[in-house]
């Protein structure tokens, strides 16, 4: 069956987006993997489905699938692309769009300057909510990885993140340590792994090895998790510019009881049709 899609990206974190409101889309993990592969399909980090609402007070439901076919709870760059998509496709006329996800409802705001501002909700810090195996909640945890000792922050933005502080993101062992921590047994649902370099109280550099996708050019929930972890360690201010390989995001997080705000771009690249 032929279905229409739009190829989009948020700072180079790229997506295939389907309107599953006006189209009937059925995707199994193998089909998703082929779709995400640049040789057998379109090629992307994640696939996004725009569906009719499921939660009260929301206008749409939003499902996210990694390139490995796994369905996940949240995607920050994808949320911004979602907002751009539903406006461009005429699925809504609103500038403020409440959306349901597997992690609960979030609110997307299309700004006059073309950026998208997203209320990503409150970070989850209790180990059981991340999920991460630890006796008590703490800003830092000791983690043995392949015989080496590391200190990590552990934060959920609906999806799980480990955050490491490094001297220089350029030389950080993303390709080796990222997969090793992603599959660490203390993260029963695997984990995204962020490598954060502090530039100043209001600025960091970040690289992210993403669960189910590998290193991406940007990770929105990873940027949120890094700022939360940095603030819990007393290293960062309330407003932080996060420089990722694909570009910059602004993350605002006042205090543990507050939600995390993420502001950044979202772009459509091309439209196409594919046989599913």
Interface with ligand API (CB under 6 A): 13, 45-46, 64, 66, 72, 75-78, 159, 192, 210-213, 216, 219-222
Q: What is the DSSP string of 173-203?
A: -HHHHHHHHHT-TTSTT--EEEEEEEEETTE
Cβ 93 to ligand API shortest distance, Å: 26
Q: Smaller CB distance to ligand API: residue 66 or 149? A: 66
Cβ 92 to ligand API shortest distance, Å: 21
How far apart are the C-alpha atoms of 103 and 30, rounded to whole Å? 24
Cβ 65 to ligand API shortest distance, Å: 9
Cβ 147 to ligand API shortest distance, Å: 26
Binding-site residues sit at 13, 46, 66, 76-77, 159, 192, 210-211, 220-221
Residues with a catalytic annotation lie at 75, 219
Q: Smaller CB distance to ligand API: residue 71 or 88? A: 71
Binding-site residues for substrate sit at 13, 46, 66, 76-77, 159, 192, 210-211, 220-221
How far apart are the C-alpha atoms of 17 and 83, rounded to whole Å? 11
Contacts of 121 (CB under 8 A, 6+ apart): 103, 104, 105, 106, 157, 158, 259, 260
Q: Smaller CB distance to ligand API: residue 197 or 216? A: 216
Q: Token match 């046989």: residue?
A: 275
Q: Smaller CB distance to ligand API: residue 110 or 223? A: 223
Q: What is the DSSP string of 147-165?
A: TEEEEEEEEESSSEEEEEE
Distance of CA 76 to the CA centre of its chain: 4
């Amino acid at each position: 069956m032929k279905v229409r899609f739009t190829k989009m990206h948020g700072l180079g974190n790229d997506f295939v987006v389907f309107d599953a409101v006006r189209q009937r889309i059925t995707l199994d993990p193998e089909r998703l993997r082929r779709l995400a592969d640049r040789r057998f399909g379109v090629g992307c980090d994640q696939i996004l489905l725009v569906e009719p609402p499921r939660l009260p007070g929301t206008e749409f439901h939003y499902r996210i699938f990694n390139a490995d076919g796994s369905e996940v709870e949240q995607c920050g760059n994808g949320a911004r692309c979602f907002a751009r998509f539903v406006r461009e496709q005429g699925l809504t006329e609103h500038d403020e769009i409440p959306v349901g996800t597997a992690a609960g409802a979030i609110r997307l705001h299309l700004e006059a300057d073309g950026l998208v501002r997203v209320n990503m909700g409150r970070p989850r810090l209790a180990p059981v909510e991340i999920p991460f195996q630890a006796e008590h909640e703490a800003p830092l945890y000791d983690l043995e990885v392949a015989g080496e000792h590391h200190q990590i922050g552990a934060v959920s933005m609906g999806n799980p993140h480990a955050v490491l502080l490094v001297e220089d993101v350029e030389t950080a062992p993303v390709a080796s340590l990222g997969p090793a921590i992603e599959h660490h047994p203390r993260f029963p649902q695997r984990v995204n792994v962020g490598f954060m370099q502090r530039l100043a109280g209001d600025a960091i550099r970040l690289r992210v090895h993403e669960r189910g996708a590998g290193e991406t050019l940007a990770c929105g929930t990873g940027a949120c998790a890094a700022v939360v972890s940095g603030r819990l360690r007393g290293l960062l201010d309330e407003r932080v510019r996060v420089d990722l390989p694909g570009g910059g995001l602004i993350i605002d997080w006042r205090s543990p009881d507050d939600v995390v705000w993420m502001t950044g771009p979202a772009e459509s690249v091309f439209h196409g049709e594919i046989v599913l």
